[in-house]
A and B are shown apart, each in its own frame.
Chain A
């Protein structure tokens, strides 16, 4: 349970570095490169800065909720990882240890439930700040997350249908193996449409560009976290990046076979470690895609966002559900 938690928190400064240097790479400039080798210690310097900044609570803010909001955001982001399997079974002398925080029977629903709660952190921050820009950010966020959650869960239903289980370990297990000895049995291949819907919705759920309307700095200053400073701001920042990691891990688990790889059969401790490496590499690929997209695409307009969610993604997700059901009925899958 503590291992994935430590791993994620350890990855955060590195991810921040990748984001900034990646931005530099894409925009043809160096990016932060002065603190430490290749600017690697820049994130550390920023954390120290956050600790020493003045911690301001606006006079007319709702104090309790204002303090609660960033904690809620981080809590929701972190607790999702408890049910994602990050490796095969680790055989130790005192018995086999499954590499997953808690293998609950409703794994995928647990993830959806917690992501649906993550909106409260943002909405409460927006409302309790007593600032009209923050409020606008909170309102936008609630509308956006509800709209895209529908498409996301409908796309996820296709995966559940294929695995015949809500347990994430069984969803991973159902994607083990190959078709015709070459093509991996990943859900992304028969359910490509479902994956694309899930992928786009994941960007909206994590408030990343091109869907970062809740913070939209050009029009809303910084949206829901305008009034936050010091570590409380850093907590929203952390929550965003943890959500990026979790969304990537979910995409890998649901559509790209989790820790499995065609031809790979985990044996002993080495096998378990290798399975973690496979999972990590797959996840980091999608984390990079998040960074890549952020510095490539401009932000949507609000009406475009709503049209895309309701008129394009939701029908596509439903189509994917029927398509998957058809494949299962025809015994292709």
Chain B
């Protein structure tokens, strides 16, 4: 990737778009617009995956997050007809500032320490056609990572049952 400037530019551009729209998502006052900003961000993330030669992950990212989960978000927001979010009362302003700056510092610190330890460069030998092929991915998923994979499906099943119990009508 490093030797080829066009891919580098595409990656940087997509990453910039992602950061900008992620910020819009946080800052924007209208929930529907926030969701839409997040859609653009996810799309840019998918572009990043493609440049990192992982098109499978990119496609799954778009199908699952941009195509399904965020549509559900929009569905709920539209169904409830949520308007511009209410302003936080003035007496709670200082608390908000303290908490958000603490979160910011914590996040920046974690990111910096991670970059210090791992470095910003992509480890050599990782990229290549491996990401494009689905068979090696499937083999890893069903051998080395079988337990986390199955644990995740159980978690999803639990969430499904929970949703069912909550949504069930009380029988008289």
User: Are A146 and B72 in touch, CB under 8 angstroms?
Assistant: yes
In Å, the complex CA distance between A153 and B63 comes to 10
Closest to A153 in B: B63
Of the candidates A106, A123, A138, the one whose C-beta lies within 8 Å of that of B56 is A106
**B5-62 residues at the A interface, CB under 8 angstroms:** 32, 36, 39, 55-56, 58-60, 62
Q: What is the total number of residues of chain A having a CB less than 8 Å from a CB of chain B?
A: 27
- Of the candidate stretches A113-121, A195-203, A305-313, A315-323, the one touching chain B is A113-121
User: Are A149 and B78 in touch, CB under 8 angstroms?
Assistant: no
A33 contacts which chain B residues (CB < 8 A)?
none
Q: A105-B133, A106-B56, A142-B75 are in contact. Are A127 and B66 (CB under 8 A)?
A: no
Q: How far is the CB of B43 from chain A (nearest CB, A)?
A: 8
In Å, the complex CA distance between A166 and B66 comes to 20
Of the candidates B74, B132, B133, the one whose C-beta lies within 8 Å of that of A123 is B74
Q: Is the interface of A mostly helix, strand, loop or mixed?
A: helix
Q: A127-B78, A139-B79, A166-B134 are in contact. Are A109 and B71 (CB under 8 A)?
A: no
Interface size class of B (residues with CB under 8 A): 20 to 34
Q: A105-B55, A105-B132 are in contact. Are A139 and B68 (CB under 8 A)?
A: no
Q: How far is the CB of A180 from chain B (nearest CB, A)?
A: 31
In Å, the complex CA distance between A112 and B79 comes to 26
Pull 19 A–B residue pairs with CB atoms less than 8 Å apart, ordered by A: A105-B132, A106-B55, A106-B56, A109-B59, A109-B63, A113-B59, A116-B71, A119-B67, A124-B36, A127-B74, A127-B78, A135-B78, A138-B78, A142-B72, A142-B74, A142-B75, A149-B68, A153-B63, A165-B134
4 cross-chain pairs, A with B, having the tightest CB-CB distances, nearest first? A116-B67, A109-B59, A113-B62, A142-B75
